[in-house]
A and B are shown apart, each in its own frame.
Chain A
Amino acid sequence: MNIFRGIADFSHLAAIIILLHKIWKSRSCAGISGKSQILFAIVFTTRYLDLLTSFISLYNTSMKVIYISCSYATVYLIYMKFRATYDGNHDSFRVEFLVVPVGGLAVLINHDFALLEILWTFSIYLESVAILPQLFMISKTGEAETITTHYLFCLGLYRALYLFNWIWRFYFEGFFDMIAIVAGLVQTVLYCDFFYLYVTKVLKGKKLSLPA
């Protein structure tokens, strides 16, 4: 594993933990898109089905189990435990407009027409757009808590670092996975606007708020 991949995985883990911790500590999921979190739970579930079929490494298995568990815990906190604080009116992104096309694309464009491979492909495509309900929610309310922006930054950083990981792997291992690379590029691009706001506002101590 190269340095980019290593930092990326821990950045991803940090994002997940930051979100869980924020909701748990504040006893509230205000400003968090439950829809994005459900999509991430679907992403992890469909991608890590290989936990049942193959063992790659202790690291690989542990991270997968942690990601899946935290993801379901987050969904549980939002829709069950702290349901009263969930801002459903502002979480109005129509997820079927993401899931249906992404499902179709996964059936059409994949490495191998096999169940596990198609579900893996579906998870890669879905992950690339899963943050859209959250970004939509922020654009609708015009603001985000600073801790939420740290979450988004770690999540965006994770995918940006995976791009460097793939460049590294292409040069040193001759490895590349076109599906992951294209979806990863799309995913990273979606964060660019947010990265700009994060650097120009949040890192200078200001709250992230959008012009009306």
Chain B
Amino acid sequence: LDDDFEKDEL
């Protein structure tokens, strides 16, 4: 899995 993956929305 990717490390830099970040999404704050749902």
Listed in ascending order, the chain A residues whose CB lies under 8 Å from chain B are 5, 9, 12, 47, 49-50, 52-54, 56-57, 60, 63-64, 67, 112, 114-117, 120, 162, 165, 177, 180
Minimum CB distance partner of A169 in chain B: B9
Some 27 contacts from A to B, beta carbons below 8 A apart, are: A5-B9, A9-B10, A49-B1, A50-B5, A50-B7, A52-B1, A53-B1, A53-B2, A53-B3, A53-B5, A54-B5, A56-B6, A56-B8, A57-B8, A60-B10, A63-B10, A112-B2, A114-B2, A114-B5, A115-B2, A116-B2, A116-B5, A117-B2, A120-B5, A120-B7, A162-B9, A180-B9
Across-interface contacts of B7 in A (CB, < 8 A): 47, 50, 56, 120
Count: A-B pairs, CB below 8 Å: 40
Residue among B3, B5, B8, B10 with the highest chain A CB neighbour number at 10 A: B10
